[in-house]
Structure 1
Amino acid sequence: MRDAPPAVTALNEGGASPFVLVCEHASNFIPAGYASLGLPAAELERHIAYDIGAADLARRLSVLLDAPLFLAGYSRLLIDLNRPWAASSSIPEISEATPIPGNVGIDAAERARRQAAWFTPFHDRVAGFLAGRPGAVVIGVHSFTPVYLGEARPWHAGILYGHATRFGRALVRALAADPALVVGDNEPYRIELEYDYTVPVHGDAAGRDAVLLEVRQDLLGDDAGRAAWAHRLAAALPRARG
């Protein structure tokens, strides 16, 4: 068993970029005491456990932009760092169509323990850093599945935003300048107060521009794909900010 990671790993905190990268679904790690939440090992390699390719994409972006980066250390199945604490999907009993046995029927004490162990340390670290960075732009780095519940998704990437409409739409245009790309404008998801945390809390509520980047997982399946998307996004982000 590998050593238990910290709840959050911060890289390049002294980076000069205005962009601050946050990867809430970076890891599929589940401590041994949770017995894989009752799931076979193969299930933990799926999107239900983490955003495939997102951590490596975020690390590459951090280098290209000289941007600070905050990476989560634990699986979203234990507690989802991009969900409000009260959301039913915070600790999911079903993810996509897969039951999560180790999350069924847990009590308030266990919910509070997971919040204290993983959710609060991650977001306190991000919030504390942002407090000392006037003008920071928050960028959540995510990936999404090519097919969800039987429906194919046509987008190569999506930009999700709430209040940051100028920046979000400018980023969509910057990526869509490549005619080979299908870029979602608040697709394949939307930012919703009931179901999202990073953009509403670290961005909108604090008066900062904030977006989530979503890149389709099959485009991040190898080093070449992740490198290509890192360079594409590293060029588009400064253009969108203006």
Structure 2
Amino acid sequence: MAESLAQSSPTLLGPTDPAPVGLRNILGGSPFFLICDHAGNAVPAALHDLGLNGDELGRHIGIDIGILGVSERLSDLLAAPLVFQRYSRLVVECNRRPTASDFVAAVSDGTPVPGNAGISAEERARRASEISEPYHHEIVSRLDERQGAGRPTILVSMHSFTPSLRARPSLRPWHVGLCYDADRRFTMPVLDALDREPGLNVGRNEPYGVNMAADYSIPVHGEERGQLYVEFEIRQDLIASAEGQVEWADRIARVLTAAYAAYAGGAA
């Protein structure tokens, strides 16, 4: 099966495939700079949906459900630049280092991915060079540009998580979680602001934390470059609808604004 789905052309993306990187409000004047690693679930035509049906590609294994809608509204509310990735995390996992075992996952949450079974090193490198590398290059270029101009910048990484895994069923009761490693300068003011929001179950490195060895976006764009950051994980059932996306974008905008005021005041 893997052979029949393999790409024989020297390039992966064809003329009908979307560009991997999406931009919104890219010249916005906000100190917040939004990124969304798993915004879309596109699959290059040459990969024939990786041998999966649309239901599987629409699950959390293929896309962070609801997070693009939240991120786009948040970008508009804050006049904040947003850089997002259009391809499914099953094609290539843009929040993993290329050396990570699930950079191209053969199985995800118990679902075998035929188009990823036994792929060659060449095919793996092609997915990296045409999808994940342009995405991260865009982020680096924009952060470098802001740094060079002396613009205050807070990296905001937007994700969503499934209420329960199929492979390891368990309750995930948090409405929202923050993921962080050693640099908690901005995460702590955000946690304080979230704790003032009524009725929220807030996770601290739940349902998971930052894996500095395997993850990419926060380790590389945040921790390694000394960039202030916060990473949100919102439970997917809360943002599956347009109404939920509006509610959570409004909430996150409120929280970020309060956290930035607290951080700036404390740094003064």
| Range class of TM-score, shorter chain | over 0.9
Partner of residue 34 from structure 2, selected from 21, 31, 35: 21
> 1:238 Cα shift?
2.1
What do the CA deviations read for 1:200-226 (whole angstroms, capped 9, x no partner)?
Answer: 111111111112111001100211111
Q: Percent identity?
A: 42
1:105 is aligned with what amino acid?
Answer: G
Is this contact kept in 2: 1:16–1:67, CA < 8 A? yes
CA contact (8 A) 1:21 1:58 kept: yes
Aligned to 1:37: 50
Paired position in structure 2 for 1:222: 241
User: Equivalent residues in 2 for 1:1-242 (5 A)?
Assistant: 3-134=16-147, 135-148=152-165, 149-241=168-260, 242=262
For the Cα contact (< 8 Å) 1:220–1:226, is it kept in 2?
Answer: yes
CA distance in 2, matches of 1:42, 1:70: 26
- Structure label with greater radius of gyration: 2
Counterpart code for 1:127:
V
User: Could you tell me which amino acid in structure 2 is paired with residue 229 of structure 1?
Assistant: W
Name structure 2 gaps, 5 residues minimum: 1-14, 263-268
1:174 partner amino acid: A
| Residues 90, 104 of structure 2: 8 Å contact kept | yes
Counterpart AA for 1:61:
L
Deviation of 1:150 (Å): 0.9
- CA distance in 2 between counterparts of 1:93 and 1:212 reads 26
What amino acid is the match of 1:21?
L
SS in structure 1 at match of 2:84: strand
Q: What is the CA-CA distance between 1:82 and the residue it aligns to? A: 0.5
Alpha-carbon deviation of 1:195? 2.3
C-alpha displacement of 1:178 = 2.2
Deviation for aligned residue 1:176: 1.7
Q: What SS is found at the alignment partner of 1:147? A: coil
The 8 Å contact of residues 99 and 214 in structure 2, kept in 1 or not, is answered as no
Mapped partners of 1:61, 1:72: distance in 2: 16
- Structure 1: stretches of 5+ with no match in the other structure: none
Q: Distance in 2 between matches of 1:113 and 1:142?
A: 25
Between the aligned partners of 1:129 and 1:163, the Cα distance in structure 2 is 24
Distance 2:24 2:198 in 1: 34
Check whether the contact 1:161–1:212 (CA below 8 A) recurs between aligned residues: yes
1:166 aligns to what SS in structure 2? coil
**Cα deviations across residues 118-157 of structure 1 (Å, max 9, x unaligned)?**
0110000110000011331111111000112211101000
- SS of 1:133's equivalent? helix
- CA–CA distance in structure 2, aligned partners of residues 200 and 30 of structure 1: 26
Q: Deviations over 1:39-74 (max 9, x none)?
A: 122111101001000111100000011100001021
What letter matches 1:124 in structure 2?
H
